[in-house]
């Protein structure tokens, strides 16, 4: 009769083999491979930092079959790239799980594939599970930090739970070289947007601000409860805020009735709105409250 150690070992091996059917090797920068997750029959999600060319990208699946792919879009701030293929790889689309309920200390496995087509794995525990966070101006639904080794070529591969569900995509480029997992919900959301548009639209109104404390006399005079706001230091000419009537020196105190204590709060409030949506902004101007209507734009590509 097998002991518990043998049973656990066999289960982990079976899980790696199962997940491996949805993992491909990705050669997107002249011989230096990463890994990728088969999202749909014609779509691969991988680490954007590992893709240096837009065409003639080579994928190697479990069968050892090599196929060509092209870059369909990338969200560099979240290290997500979408690849499209025109021929079958023989790989199985990923079985994504939910990251709701993840707890620090849970056992997880990272899976990747080598340039020779071999499946590889690394295991550990979750050392950090927290709420959503921002990579630049992009929102990642959850902060998931596995305590394991991402060997060369593992970026773009999968993090798997004890049930064999793929929790997200591993990368070592978002946290100063340390392992981090982009959750499945973010992968799918960004994958859909890249598939439809080829890029991720970032809400933008065209201002530069800095946090300030709203003086108590002004709060009392204007009937405001919040103590902090954002002083407008620059308004981009012809940008959404400029068109909406925002002036240099205004103090922005809320957006759609959501107040901010920091720039992160403001970016969070803005990030929850869609490009083209009209929002109400409340500013303090000369000690008086002024409501402005601003139509959110898309951040220009620099």
Alpha-carbon distance of 217 to 208, in angstroms, equals 25
| Cβ–Cβ under 8 Å, residues 156 and 47 | yes
Alpha-carbon distance of 68 to 60, in angstroms, equals 9
Mind listing the pLDDT tens digit for each residue in 78-96? 999 999 998 888 889 999 9
Alpha-carbon distance of 33 to 57, in angstroms, equals 10
Mind listing the pLDDT tens digit for each residue in 123-177? 999 999 998 887 766 778 899 999 999 999 999 999 999 889 999 999 999 988 8
Mind listing the pLDDT tens digit for each residue in 231-263? 999 999 999 999 999 999 999 998 888 887 777
Does pLDDT of 301 surpass 60? Answer: no
pTM: 0.78
pLDDT at 225: 78
4-85 fold:
Thrombin, subunit H (2.40.10)
Backbone angles phi, psi at 284, to 5 degrees: -105, 125
Q: Between vectors from CA 122 to CA 27 and to CA 30, what angle results, nearest 5°?
A: 15
Give the domain ranges of the chain: 4-85, 107-183, 203-298
| Cβ–Cβ under 8 Å, residues 295 and 273 | no
Please give the mean pLDDT across all residues of the chain: 90
Q: Tell me the HSE value of 7 on the side-chain side, using a 13 A CA sphere.
A: 4
Does pLDDT of 271 surpass 80? Answer: no
Does pLDDT of 61 surpass 60? Answer: yes
Pairing outcome for strands 66-75 and 57-60: antiparallel
Q: Cα-Cα-Cα-Cα dihedral of 164, 165, 169, 174, to 10°?
A: -90
Section 23-40 average pLDDT: 90
Alpha-carbon distance of 243 to 235, in angstroms, equals 10
Same fold flag, 107-183 and 203-298: no
107-183 fold:
Thrombin, subunit H (2.40.10)
Section 216-223 average pLDDT: 81
Q: Which of 82, 79, 29 is nearest to 180 (CA)?
A: 79
| Cβ–Cβ under 8 Å, residues 115 and 36 | no
pLDDT at 1: 52
| Cβ–Cβ under 8 Å, residues 209 and 232 | yes
| Ramachandran class of 221: left when φ > 0, alpha when ψ lies in -120 to 50, beta otherwise | alpha
Backbone angles phi, psi at 265, to 5 degrees: -65, -40
Q: Which of 93, 94, 120 is nearest to 33 (CA)?
A: 120
Q: Which CATH class is domain 203-298?
A: mainly beta
Alpha-carbon distance of 281 to 38, in angstroms, equals 42
Indicate the burial class of 26 (C-beta count within 10 angstroms; 0-12, 13-18, 19 or more): buried
């Amino acid at each position: 009769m097998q002991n518990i150690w043998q049973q656990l070992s066999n289960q982990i091996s079976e899980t790696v083999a199962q997940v491996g059917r949805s993992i491909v090797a990705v050669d997107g920068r002249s011989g230096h491979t990463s890994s990728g997750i088969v999202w749909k029959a014609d779509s691969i999600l991988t680490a954007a930092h590992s893709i240096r060319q837009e065409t003639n990208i080579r994928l190697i699946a479990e069968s050892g079959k090599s196929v060509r792919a092209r870059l369909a879009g990338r969200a560099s701030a979240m290290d997500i790239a979408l690849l499209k293929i025109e021929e079958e790889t023989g790989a199985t689309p990923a079985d994504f799980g939910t990251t709701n309920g993840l707890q620090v200390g849970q056992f997880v496995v990272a899976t990747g594939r080598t340039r020779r087509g071999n499946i590889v794995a690394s295991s550990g525990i979750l050392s950090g599970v927290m709420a959503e966070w921002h990579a630049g101006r992009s929102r990642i639904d959850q902060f998931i930090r596995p305590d394991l080794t991402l060997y060369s070529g593992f970026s773009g591969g999968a993090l798997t739970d004890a049930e064999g569900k793929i929790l997200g995509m591993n990368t070592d480029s978002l946290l100063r070289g340390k392992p981090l997992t982009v959750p499945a919900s973010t992968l799918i959301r960004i994958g859909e947007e890249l598939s439809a548009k080829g890029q991720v639209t970032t809400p933008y109104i065209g201002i530069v601000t800095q946090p300030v404390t709203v003086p108590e006399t002004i709060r009392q005079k204007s009937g405001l409860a919040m103590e902090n706001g954002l002083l407008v230091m620059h308004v981009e000419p012809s940008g959404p805020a400029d068109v909406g009537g925002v002036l240099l020196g205004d103090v922005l105190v809320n957006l759609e009735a959501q107040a901010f204590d920091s720039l992160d709060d403001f970016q969070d409030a803005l990030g929850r709105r869609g490009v083209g949506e009209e929002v109400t902004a409340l500013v303090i101007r000369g000690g008086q409250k002024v409501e402005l209507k601003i139509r959110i734009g898309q951040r220009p590509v620099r």
